[in-house]
Amino acid sequence: MTSSQHSDSSPTTRRARSWVKSILDVLVIVLIAIAAKTAIAEPYYVPSGSMEPTLKIGDELLATKFPYGYSTSSLPNFVTLPDSKRILGALPRRGDVVVFRWPGDRSQIWVKRVVGLPGDRVAMRSGQLWINGKPVPLQPDGIGSMETEDGSQQATTRFIETLPGGRQHTIFKSAGFDPLDNMPELVVPPGHLFVMGDNRDYSADSRVPLSAGGVGLLPVGDLVGRVDALVGSWDLGMERQPFWRWPQGLRLSRFFTAVR
């Protein structure tokens, strides 16, 4: 045996090769996970009540990425790059619940419902949404319980809203005047969407300009994906309880449920 052959088979060399192989295996797994998060779906956590009653504080949702095509917005949320052209792009349907990068800070991920498409005329009059010159029908649906960010509950009026095309969803709308109840009619420009929260009095959405902390008219390029399902949910109010009671905060009835 030559000295070079002896060196190649030494324990030190074998251990080094084993470490390199292990590191490469981990890198492959990480790259596969990143690819899946980019191309297929990614989970996100809901920190606020702007989409109640559809989404509750503490829900974990799954955003499906392929319905609207891909851009730099599709990358995992810890990767923040400038907006790029979208490939295989498609517009959402009215009524889709979407996840997007907030135009004011692309590292932030927000969730709202699409109510206006390019070319639509959108207005708010006395708390009711108008699209293309017609009021969007609202049907009273009793009283719901709205969760606030401090974990308390507040009784709120529920309505079923029916968008043009027939898609229905439930909204919260408190009685009385709210600054967001009225908005002059505007035309959604090409390449943009009008999005709203289902909790109409507590949502900084397209009714609120970007300069005031809202969304303004959402560029299609900022879309991340469509919310199709919840994968889990936990009542954040339980974090003030002793840790052994935390499992009681699991909302098992919301696990693996569809979002409409």
Q: What positions carry a catalytic annotation?
A: 50, 112
Tokens representing residue 243 in the block: 């840790």
Residue 101 near residue 224, CB atoms below 8 Å? yes
Q: Give the Å distances, CA to CA, from 64 to 37, 39, 252, 258.
A: 9, 8, 22, 12
**Strand 128-131 versus strand 121-125 pairing type:** antiparallel
Residue type, 183: M
CB 141 within 8 A of CB 170: yes
Cα dihedral 203, 205, 207, 210 sign: positive
Question: Tokens 């959108």 sit at which residue?
Answer: 122
